[in-house]
Amino acid sequence: MKPKGNFQKKERDKGLRVNQRIRIPKVRVIDPDGEQLGVMDTREALDLAQNKYGLDLIEVSPFAKPPVCKIMDFGKYKFQLKKKSQEAKKNQMIIVVKEIKLRPTTDKHDMDVKIKSIVKFLEQGNKVKVSLRFRGREVVHASVGKAQMDKIVDHLGSTAVIEQHPKLEGKQMTMVLASSSAAASSK
């Protein structure tokens, strides 16, 4: 019966093979200083890692021919991987798409409130999808909806950049806006 250790399961899921779990007959070995020791028998490499250096043999590139193994401290290696993933997570920015819904008959004051909301969303770094919904035969007057979309863009001025120009799909006209500062930083 196999022990149900949480450690073994996590390492198996990551695909990391360490020490006796490396089953390939020959591997390319790199010592702790980064020097290549060449291709050798896996048992010989494991013996070298444990007896000479007192460290672990870790398979760092399993798909190479032959697989590349490095002699290093496994705990330290896991710590470095965790730090790298945390750093990457810290630097990424999650962009949320907020939606503002309009109608062709939306009044001026309501439009001003919606524009304030759009500005607030853009300042937070989110993208804004402006949806204008037509009912019944209103779709015949799509130019009214296009004029409203243009009015929104004029009010926003240099605050926003149009990512997707107004497009009529069925009975809904949509446009996607992004903050001009976010667009400048991504280029």
Q: Are 41 and 25 in contact (CB under 8 A)?
A: yes
Cα-Cα end-to-end distance for the chain:
56
Helix (H) or strand (E) run with residue 66 in it? none
Mean pLDDT on 23-40: 90
Q: Please give the CATH topology (third level) of the domain spanning 6-88.
A: Ubiquitin-like (UB roll) (3.10.20)
CATH architecture group of domain 97-186: 2-Layer Sandwich (3.30)
pLDDT for position 182: 57
Decide: pTM greater than 0.75. no
Per-domain residue ranges for the chain? 6-88, 97-186
Distance CA 141, CA 66 (A): 68
Mean pLDDT on 101-121: 93
Which phi and psi (to 5°) does residue 155 adopt? Answer: -65, -40
